[in-house]
Chains A and B, each alone.
Chain A
Amino acid sequence: MAGALSHFRICDFTGQLAGAGATKWLAAFGAEVIRIEDPVRQGRWDILRGIGPFADDRRGIDLGGAFNNHNTDKKGITLNLRTDKGKEILTEIIKKSDAVTENFAAGVLEKWGFGYEDLKTIKPDIIYVSNCGFGHEGPYSKFKTWGPIVQAVSGLTFSSTLPQQPPAGWGYSYMDHTGGYYMAMAIMLALLERDKSGKGQWVDLACTEAGLSLNGPALLDWTVNQQPMRQEAGFNSNRSQYAVMAPHGIYPCQGDDEWIAISCRNDHDWMQLSALIDADLADTVKQWCSSFDALQYRLDQQDELDEHMMNWTREREKFNLQERLRHCEIPVAAVQKPAERIDQDPTTGNFGLWPTVTHSQIGEVRVDGLPVHFSETDWHMARGAPCLGEHTEEVLVDLLGKTTDEVTRLREEGVI
């Protein structure tokens, strides 16, 4: 079955997550994504190639678990761009590609002789999407980033915090994931533009700008009301940011590091919740709920309210409490650990969110699927990430029409 994007070929230099995540989406919908890696450095520019998690005791540049997760269904070839023949082969691939994608530091591809002007000469309607931290223009264009640096500079780390504590930030590269999403959007928008006008273009994606754009209402509160988010008193980001809801937080439950998130959107939710709490606590402690019936009081005395909430939740098992609150139609969710949301929560399994792919060396392994389903041209993941140079011969023979003898010679000459 043809995929939604089977008619596209991507000449792909991306790596890590911010870039590889973008072309993973395209490959899952059928695009032919050809990853180009350096045989001299054994593809190590993508540091995820050789680092854990590992499925077993074996180690090596083909066995990285994160690399496998981000590069499903792509082809991998090696090409030594220090050689003229390597550059010639790349030129042939670009001629047959719809887009060239990369997330190097600004200017790297240009230094190799494949900047946008060069690419256009090779193929006039080529789409070139570069993704780097600060973009190719502006005072910080030479500055380097990785996910946590993007999050820091774009305001996202700051807004995940408790008062009187340093920022908690994001315990993972939210902006590598999300930078990859914006890169995928940029590639597809440019493909739609080419469908329409026949024109290619260079999209200069700056991950920090994508990150900054995710703070919308806070930025308008600043530009219109001059209300800064940095204030002496600090804030608790588990509370509602602007919508006036209380209680609204993450509370401890029975057991080790077990938590539950509860949001009361309005007085109705609160009346439901306080009836539940009252019933639980009637025999043991003085009833306190009724003093919090007024929303303004709940908001003004939120610290005290949260203390009461914690004393109530702490004695209860999180999934049981989740069931009871769901029954009352109060927004609630246990803070799920990876094992719980992946293996026990039936909603992710039912959705088919964790497909098993086959990697040439690792074998069968589960990966992140996509959180969407298409009725006509759904995504599909079958193959793990390519081992270094796994598809070099296939691409050179099938796509470029080389003979196997020529491929052997290129290998001997250190071109591939």
Chain B
Amino acid sequence: MTVLDGIRVIEIANERIAFAGKLLGDMGADVILVEPPNGDPGRQLPPFVDQEPGDNRSLHFMHYNTSKRSAVVDLNSTAGQSTFRDLIGIADVLIESEPVSRLSTLSLDYADLVGTRPGLIHVAVTPYGRNEPLSDLPVTDLTLMAAGGPPWSCGYDDHSLPPMRGWGNQGYQTGCHFAFMSILTALLHRNVSGAGQFIDVSMTAALNVTTEAASYSWLVNQSTVQRQTGRHAAVKLTGESQVRCADGRYVNTGVPPRFPKEFKSLLNWMKEIGLSEDFPEVIFLEMGAAWDGPFDLSMIGEDETITAIFMAGRQALVKIANSVGAYEFFTGCQQAGLSVGLIYSPEEAFEDEHFKARGFQVSVEHDDLDRTVIYPGAPYRLPQSPWSISRRAPHLGEHTEEIMALIQ
């Protein structure tokens, strides 16, 4: 038993909202993926098992549809519409990303359904919100991101290179985060009031409020951030923070040392690996290590000694990074109390001992593939209400019969 056991969700299959259904299903909700007779187009998305396309081989679909059941319901037919209405009759949540007026045309919108199912929570996730005709134009993760703001802040110091969009369907996933938070909020409200509601989630609005300083710099004093290589876009440009290590991998050097004990650790480390001798600024590290009390950060650029000490700290980090492997730099700095990060590829992160030790790698039996597949695990750990992948992604219509039995 876990927290969302007993909550039934109807999800009208759409690539954009599949992740919201997974978040619900992995916390115990009974998520019924309603698919058209020819299946969710998401079933055809690469990558594929053994890189061979085919039915039930899409790793993309497998990931985003864990812990769900599938029922084929043809919303274009009268019989299918009637079945859908019956399904809503036993559901708590409807989540969809249909064209803005499709459900009302079919008499299956919130206003049509709430009478038969009081307490229904209906969540529509659309590119610009349910009231915007623009929501019906085609989008991809890339175009949503461009419209919503993230790429403006991401890229390189060299502005002849384009603004960048990060991979991983983060645009869709951000919309899904808000859909899931909305559903949890509405469920908490329903627990005390008995009332459901209609919830309108805008995917571009979700991105607009997920851009940190880009938005609030404009909102507060109409200043505009500029993108920089591997660090925060800023109104006033800042120094580099990304360094290539001896093994060719990059690290983020984080905030340079600010406390005497950090300078001391850095100095000792340089001595240990024999770097202090050809580093003339070592004298400033020594001064930093011997400094009495905390530094006055506001004096950087004002006081010559303090400035020299800070510069030396930053240079020392770069020098060490250039001389050791990225992993050694990451763990060495962290052990010295400095918050730095190794720029892992996703698979390197996945294989890292920390995440393995925490049980982040999760095995799921695939009877359909005759093997066990390792999946990414829980994004949060609730000991009283454990996250789990309760079943592999469903085949098309795999559960139609048992689901129809629920409404007969």
Chain A proximity of B39: nearest CB distance (Å): 16
| Bitwise interface map of B from 205 to 216 toward A, beta carbon under 8 Å scored 1, else 0 | 110111111111
Residues of B within 8 A of A56 (CB): 221
Residues of A within 8 A of B263 (CB): none
- The answer to the question of B282 belonging to the interface, with a C-beta cut-off of 8 Å to chain A, is no
Question: B143 contacts which of A257, A333, A343 (Cβ < 8 Å)?
Answer: A333
By the criterion CB–CB under 8 Å, are B184 and A192 in contact?
Answer: yes
Which of chain A's residues has its CB closest to B214's CB?
A338
Residues of B within 8 A of A330 (CB): 138
Question: B354 contacts which of A139, A158, A174 (Cβ < 8 Å)?
Answer: A139
- The answer to the question of B252 belonging to the interface, with a C-beta cut-off of 8 Å to chain A, is yes
By the criterion CB–CB under 8 Å, are A193 and B215 in contact?
Answer: no
- A261 touching B217 in the complex, CB below 8 Å, given contacts A152-B251, A214-B173, A220-B59: no
Residues of A within 8 A of B110 (CB): 375
Residues of B within 8 A of A208 (CB): 349, 354-355
The secondary-structure label for the interface of chain B is mixed
Please report B residues at the A interface, Cβ cutoff 8 Å.
3-4, 23, 27, 45-47, 49-51, 59-60, 62-64, 110, 128-129, 131-132, 134, 137-140, 142-156, 159, 161-170, 173-175, 177-178, 180-182, 184-189, 191-192, 195-206, 208-225, 227-233, 235, 241-242, 244, 250-252, 254-255, 330, 334, 337-350, 352-355, 357-358, 360-361, 373-385
- The answer to the question of A117 belonging to the interface, with a C-beta cut-off of 8 Å to chain B, is no
Chain B proximity of A416: nearest CB distance (Å): 25
- A196 touching B3 in the complex, CB below 8 Å, given contacts A166-B244, A342-B215: yes
| Bitwise interface map of A from 201 to 245 toward B, beta carbon under 8 Å scored 1, else 0 | 111111011101111111111111101111000000110111111
A-B residue pairs in contact (CB < 8 Å), sample of 23:
A143-B339, A155-B345, A158-B346, A159-B167, A167-B230, A170-B150, A170-B154, A173-B212, A192-B191, A193-B384, A201-B382, A204-B381, A209-B380, A210-B380, A212-B349, A212-B355, A220-B373, A220-B375, A222-B347, A237-B164, A238-B142, A265-B140, A375-B110
By the criterion CB–CB under 8 Å, are A212 and B181 in contact?
Answer: no
For window 102-161 of A, CB contacts with B under 8 Å fall at 134-135, 137-140, 142-146, 148-161
- The answer to the question of A341 belonging to the interface, with a C-beta cut-off of 8 Å to chain B, is yes
By the criterion CB–CB under 8 Å, are B376 and A217 in contact?
Answer: no
Additional pairs, 10, CB under 8 Å, beyond known A219-B350, A375-B197: A4-B188, A54-B220, A56-B221, A66-B213, A138-B357, A160-B167, A190-B384, A225-B50, A261-B142, A335-B152
Question: B355 contacts which of A66, A190, A209, A345 (Cβ < 8 Å)?
Answer: A209
| Bitwise interface map of A from 13 to 33 toward B, beta carbon under 8 Å scored 1, else 0 | 000010000000100010000
By the criterion CB–CB under 8 Å, are B3 and A374 in contact?
Answer: no
| Bitwise interface map of A from 387 to 414 toward B, beta carbon under 8 Å scored 1, else 0 | 0000000000000000000000000000
Count of chain A residues with Cβ under 8 Å from any Cβ of B? 153
By the criterion CB–CB under 8 Å, are B200 and A368 in contact?
Answer: no
Chain B proximity of A354: nearest CB distance (Å): 6
Q: Which 9 A/B pairs are nearest by Cβ-Cβ distance?
A: A152-B341, A155-B346, A371-B205, A160-B166, A261-B146, A171-B153, A149-B341, A65-B220, A171-B233
By the criterion CB–CB under 8 Å, are A228 and B345 in contact?
Answer: yes
By the criterion CB–CB under 8 Å, are B212 and A224 in contact?
Answer: no
Which listed segment binds B: A84-92, A181-189, A273-281, A288-296? A181-189
By the criterion CB–CB under 8 Å, are B380 and A182 in contact?
Answer: yes
Chain A proximity of B155: nearest CB distance (Å): 5
Residues of B within 8 A of A215 (CB): 168, 346, 349-350, 376
Which of chain A's residues has its CB closest to B192's CB?
A7
By the criterion CB–CB under 8 Å, are B379 and A172 in contact?
Answer: no
Chain B proximity of A48: nearest CB distance (Å): 10
- The answer to the question of A283 belonging to the interface, with a C-beta cut-off of 8 Å to chain B, is no
By the criterion CB–CB under 8 Å, are A242 and B60 in contact?
Answer: yes
- The answer to the question of A169 belonging to the interface, with a C-beta cut-off of 8 Å to chain B, is yes
Chain B proximity of A414: nearest CB distance (Å): 21
Chain A proximity of B133: nearest CB distance (Å): 10
Question: A185 contacts which of B47, B139, B225, B380 (Cβ < 8 Å)?
Answer: B380
